[in-house]
Amino acid sequence: MIERVEILGVKVDAVTMAQAVERVASLIAADKPSMVATANAEMLLRATHDDELKNILNAANLVVPDGAGTVWAAHHLGKFMPERVAGFDLVQELMKIAPAKSWKFFLFGAAPGIADKAKLKAESLYPGIKIVGTRNGYFTAADEPTIIEQIKSSRPDVLLAALGVPKQEKWLSAHMNELSVPVSIGVGGTFDVMAGVVKRAPLWMQRAKLEWLFRALLQPSRAGRLIALPKFVFKVHKQKISC
């Protein structure tokens, strides 16, 4: 039985990457609409003042610790959390074994053309992978019926949504049953990295838990989000002393 650690009101699964992949595989095999969330510090902090997001996360079938801050928070609270399970890495691990399992993917989100480039990258990295459709993340409410029909008719096993937090989680939650996709995952900037539009931190920075700093340096527009980190630390410490 996998332990769930409550961090700022959100229950995060204490899983390894291998366990997360195994769990997603079992959800695909069950063939019922399910949702996987990738919880980093920013998402957990946002959920403290966004009840809709918090409820969606707590109803998800799997919430992985995406971010060094999430792992730190669990440890600070005296709980077991084996490792970081980054959303980008989880997607790559799933794609790696997908050809052997005949899993089909649909890529939804990011700027026009980015999902198509991510598709080409996936096809070059994972020969035989089936990506049955792409759609950019620029749309209005009037476009949604067409998007939903496009996804449904493609019959993917995994829907990857790169719409940003919390839009992707709320959109997937609202349409999950209608879409009838076995596994839906909010993947943030994964397509941008796969497409080569955004670089990922060097491995040494990932291992040093400094990927957040690399992103801030590379994308100054994200620097404002760093303000959230001290708030996150403060709230986690407050949770600890209130237990």
Q: What is the pLDDT of residues 127-167, one digit of tens each?
A: 999 999 999 999 999 999 999 999 999 999 999 999 999 99
Pick from 147, 183, 168: which is nearest to 56 by CA? 168
Burial (Cβ within 10 Å: 0-12, 13-18, ≥19) of residue 197: middle
Flag whether pLDDT at 92 surpasses 70: yes
Mean pLDDT calculated for residue range 1-15 = 96
Flag whether pLDDT at 185 surpasses 80: yes
Flag whether pLDDT at 202 surpasses 90: no
Contacts of residue 224, Cβ cutoff 8 Å, sequence gap at least 6:
none
In the chain, what's the furthest Cα-to-Cα distance?
Answer: 52
pLDDT for 109: 98
Rounded to two decimals, what is the model's pTM? 0.91
